[in-house]
Amino acid sequence: MKDERIEINYKSYDSLAELSDADAELLKKSEEARLNAYAPYSKFHVGAAIRLENGEIILGTNQENAAYPSGMCAERVALYYAGSQFPNSVIESIAVSAPSANALPVPPCGACRQVLLENEQRQIKKIRVLIGQTKGKIIEFDGSESLLPLAFKESFLR
């Protein structure tokens, strides 16, 4: 037996002022999108903003349903919309904003991480992930594998 480790790398920022203008704009858009979230049950409003390589910005919000499994996370709403409306465009970055009781940025759930990975595999390019709010700490991941080590990939299906 061997003890092994998996490590991830990420960048952290103490404030919005440390981000590039483009990243700051994307995070602001994700926070603004939260206002349109439909979260009558959890009251947990999440917004996502995607920047495509062509400069287009796609917004998504979480959409709940009384039958809980029927709801959808903000990240997947935005990713699926981008795939549907801009099927040949490369997703450059996604910013996700959610309220946090302990002031730490809220990461995407496992299902959203898997969908991010699928999009990266489809476009053969990593998607940068920013999580945080316009006030407080912000974390940047260089791609989904930093969020989802030992991910399930299409190569396992062969």
- Catalytic (active-site) positions: 75
40: left (phi over 0), alpha (psi -120 to 50) or beta: alpha
**CA–CA gap between residue 64 and residue 72 (Å, rounded):** 6
Give the contacts of 4 (CB within 8 A, at least 6 positions apart): none
Query: How far is Cα 154 from Cα 56, in angstroms, rounded to an integer?
Result: 28
75 Cβ contact partners less than 8 Å away, ≥ 6 residues apart: 46, 48, 60, 94, 96, 108, 112, 115, 116
Give the tokens for residue 3. 């003890």
How is residue 102 written in tokens?
A: 């302990």
